[in-house]
Structure 1
Amino acid sequence: MLSNDQSWSPGGPEAGSIRRVLVVDDSRLQRRILSQSLKSWGFEVVEAESGDEAIDVCRALHPDLVLSDWMMPGMDGLEFCRAFRALPGEDYGYFILLTAKSEKVEIARGLDAGADDFLTKPVNPSELRARISAGERIIAMQRELSDKNRVIRDTLDRLQAAYDSIDRDLMQARKIQESLVPDRVRKFGASRVSLLLKPCGHIGGDLVGMFSPGANQVGFYSIDVSGHGITSAMMTARIGGYLSGSHPDENLALQRCGEGQYRLRDPAEAALLLNERQVEDTGIDEYYTMAFATADLASGRLKLVQAGHPHPLILRRDGQVELAGEGSVPIGLLADVTFSQFETSLQPGDRLLLYSDGFTECRLRSGAMLETAGLLEMVAGCPPGQSGPEFLDDLFWNLTQVMSPDHGMEDDVSATLFEFNGP
């Protein structure tokens, strides 16, 4: 047995950094001397007499520390070190080369091969203890880092699984939201309504739609719910029910006037009912802007309410553009409000464009916003004679060409185009 000082362990098995040591030397005597010291310090020791044998041991046992002679027949210490570093595994193994070489060039070769430290033969026990102690600290830090990285990977895996689940839910929610706008274009006699809906994410807070309770009557709208994301999307689903084209009994913009017969309410009256319904819903802080219009297809009479929404554009057949609407507060923002109603007449060939502020508040490459003036220029730049869907698609494509690439679509973009072509 060694003395108490000699039996001192720089880490020992209880420290957990270095437990198993591999001693590689073609000299049986040198292996025995090193092994006895290491065992007396409490380490588990494995021996190998060549580099080839040592590699096989490393594959099976994964030693924490390797003490290898440099000069050996066959695979020398440098070749063994390179092969050791090439082995798969997460835990780091500390590698000390035993050599009689002391030139800086030779030491540099050893470091390039992957060695961590050097000991000059014959090995001094005190120096060996000190080098192992240094290795203990490095391995302890490496394993602590590996443990933290493992925790991070596990956490990221769980987050990815949660994200994938949310993403699947959002994709399904998008399909449900798209079902609120089943028809992108629909004819009403000679006239036509076309819709554009481009969410800035999986789901959005914009909603467009149309409905007709009978011949020569059509209603259409453009809505923008405050905020973004799931809450706004859920609000659009609720509002879609209030303005349902397939369930007229539930449509607040329609009034029963006989068995199975309905007529369009004035837009201001419909806005009032929608506002009352929104305010009555407790626990809901969201509001929405809306442009809702009705048209008499026999006379071309147009009625419009603009509740906080951007001013609609009347595109006359002669190329003139007019701003429509008198402005009112958004729906659901205040109780006990009235809504102003705008009325005008359309001639065959005239069009009405309702659009969300995703157009006018689009951020340009210059950093400024498109605003109404920019939208008017964009509308004027569209080829004449375009049909409804083509016109809206071209308008949106032109918007994507001028928007800032650094910001992209920051808000949902939607529009409703009514083309009046006479009775």
Structure 2
Amino acid sequence: MPTACESISVIPEGGRLLPRCVMVVDDSRLQRRILSALLNRWGYCVEEAESAPQALEKCSINPPDIVISDWMMPQMNGLEFCRAFRRMQRDTYGYFILLTSKSQSLEVVQGLDAGADDFLTKPVNGDELRARLNAGERVLSMEKELVDKNALLTSTLQELQTLYDSLDSDLTEARKLQQSLVRERFRDFGGSQISLLLRPSGHVGGDLVGFFPINAHRIAAFAIDVAGHGVASALMTARLAGFLSSTSPDQNVALFESEYGIYDAHPPEEVAAQLNALMLTELETETYFTLLLADIDLVSGDVRLVQAGHPYPAVQRADGSVEFLGRGGHPVGLFPEARFEPVVTRLAPGDRLFISSDGVTECESPDGKMLDTDGLVDLLGRNRSLRGPDFMESLVWDLARFGGEQEFSDDVSAVLFEFNAPKCNVD
């Protein structure tokens, strides 16, 4: 039988994996020989030590799977040895069996406190020793299985962390790209001005705001809220940005070129119907979105808009009063036969049109109360003296204060058109 721990293989028996090494520690040479003979017969690799210090030295070189140690030994007794053994750094668990002639409960408690796993009374009975070893093997097998699973879990978590870091970096770049869809946040038209706000609740979101010129005296402003959040919604907003592009009029579904080479725009309700057909027939997606599209005359102040499921737009008059427009309407991309009705109004000098996503009106306070339209009226009145980007910045601060946090649970987007005076020098 081999006695060097390095040369023995893991031996299966009854479906179990036997430990590779058992260390027998006893100052009695006869006791060591008896135990070693039994262990060798059962296929274990055996290492002997005549004292605890010698055992600790050997353990530091080749940690055993199981230790069988006498309690009463010179220099260092079994309890002290067990404590020192437990303090040793090792990758796997070592099962510790204490040999003792003590059977009183106090001694057993002392042994357990020292770190012992099991006890054998002297003289050692072979069947009892085998039973204790079987118990130890079960513990070691479970410990090995747990270690292997933890190693796999750690490796998987590291891989997931790497993937997350990569995805997080990609999403950060995606947020920058999404923000770049709003190329201009402010423009002055010489009598009127428009300001935009886009603040996704996460890395990327489903809101989009923008405007584009129709001709020398008309512009279109729009706000879109794609259902859901995340990458899928952000990809859809990018697609919709192309359909309402301010840089490529020939790709803008709202615009058409007249026979005189001058661009004009389809009525907002027809644009909504066209986008609805595109969503249901060509884009082949289950996603839908709400839309507010307004055709604004910079000279007369006339506004023609369509509200397709988007929150009601607000007109704040020069005297500070606020009125909401629209009839609600169906979202775009849900119903094939949806009808979209136009809404018209006229802005007088000093009036302004405010369009926002439901991230504004549905912003919740810590106690669960929504801002709603009453809160929006209060917000518009409180910031009545602020113009353009200053108003948008104050809006974000007020919403954060109302919600009790800086990060919003939903995307926040808005369009503010301020009609100060009719545009002059129209070509």
TM-score (norm 1): 0.87
1:300 to partner: Cα distance: 1.8
Q: Is the 8 A contact 1:17 1:139 kept in 2?
A: no
Residue of structure 2 equivalent to 1:21: 22
Residue of structure 2 equivalent to 1:185: 186
- 1:5-47: per-residue Cα shift (whole Å, max 9, x none)? xxxxxx9653214231011223333322221221122110011
Q: Is the 8 A contact 1:367 1:404 kept in 2?
A: no
SS at match of 2:286: coil
C-alpha distance in 2 between matches for 1:225 and 1:12: 63
SS at match of 2:213: strand
Aligned length: 411
1:400 to partner: Cα distance: 3.0
SS at match of 1:18: coil
SS at match of 1:276: helix
- 1:236-283: per-residue Cα shift (whole Å, max 9, x none)? 111100111111111122222478742344322332332333333152
Q: Is the 8 A contact 1:13 1:42 kept in 2?
A: no
Letter of the structure 2 residue corresponding to residue 254 of structure 1 = L
- 1:91-147: per-residue Cα shift (whole Å, max 9, x none)? 221101223444433332221121111223333333322222222222233333333
Q: Is the 8 A contact 1:25 1:49 kept in 2?
A: yes
Q: In structure 2, do the counterparts of structure 1 residues 185 and 44 end up closer, same or farther at CA, with 3 Å as the change threshold?
A: same
1:213 to partner: Cα distance: 4.2
Q: Is the 8 A contact 1:13 1:19 kept in 2?
A: no
Q: Is the 8 A contact 1:217 1:264 kept in 2?
A: no
Q: In structure 2, do the counterparts of structure 1 residues 278 and 54 end up closer, same or farther at CA, with 3 Å as the change threshold?
A: same
Q: Is the 8 A contact 2:308 2:328 kept in 1?
A: yes
Q: Gaps spanning 5+ residues in structure 1: where? A: 2-10
SS at match of 1:396: helix
Residue of structure 1 equivalent to 2:44: 43
Q: Is the 8 A contact 2:210 2:222 kept in 1?
A: yes
Which contiguous aligned blocks of 4+ residues in structure 1 show a shift greater than 6 angstroms?
none
Q: Is the 8 A contact 2:320 2:384 kept in 1?
A: no
SS at match of 1:411: coil
C-alpha distance in 2 between matches for 1:421 and 1:22: 93
Letter of the structure 1 residue corresponding to residue 385 of structure 2 = G
Letter of the structure 2 residue corresponding to residue 392 of structure 1 = M
Residue of structure 1 equivalent to 2:6: none
Q: In structure 2, do the counterparts of structure 1 residues 338 and 120 end up closer, same or farther at CA, with 3 Å as the change threshold?
A: closer
SS at match of 1:163: helix
1:323 to partner: Cα distance: 0.6
Q: Gaps spanning 5+ residues in structure 2: where? A: 2-9
SS at match of 1:32: helix
SS at match of 1:285: coil
Whether 2:295 is the aligned partner of 1:289: answer no
Residue of structure 2 equivalent to 1:6: none
| 1:8-407 aligned within 5 A | 14=13, 15-257=16-258, 261-380=262-381, 382-403=382-403
1:208 to partner: Cα distance: 0.5
User: More displaced, 307-316 or 67-76?
Assistant: 67-76
- 1:61-115: per-residue Cα shift (whole Å, max 9, x none)? 2211101123334443223322322333442211012234444333322211211
Q: In structure 2, do the counterparts of structure 1 residues 127 and 285 end up closer, same or farther at CA, with 3 Å as the change threshold?
A: closer
Q: Is the 8 A contact 1:90 1:146 kept in 2?
A: no
Q: In structure 2, do the counterparts of structure 1 residues 275 and 81 end up closer, same or farther at CA, with 3 Å as the change threshold?
A: same
Q: In structure 2, do the counterparts of structure 1 residues 62 and 217 end up closer, same or farther at CA, with 3 Å as the change threshold?
A: same
Identity score, percent: 52
User: More displaced, 259-268 or 23-32?
Assistant: 259-268
Residue of structure 2 equivalent to 1:411: 410
1:415 to partner: Cα distance: 1.1
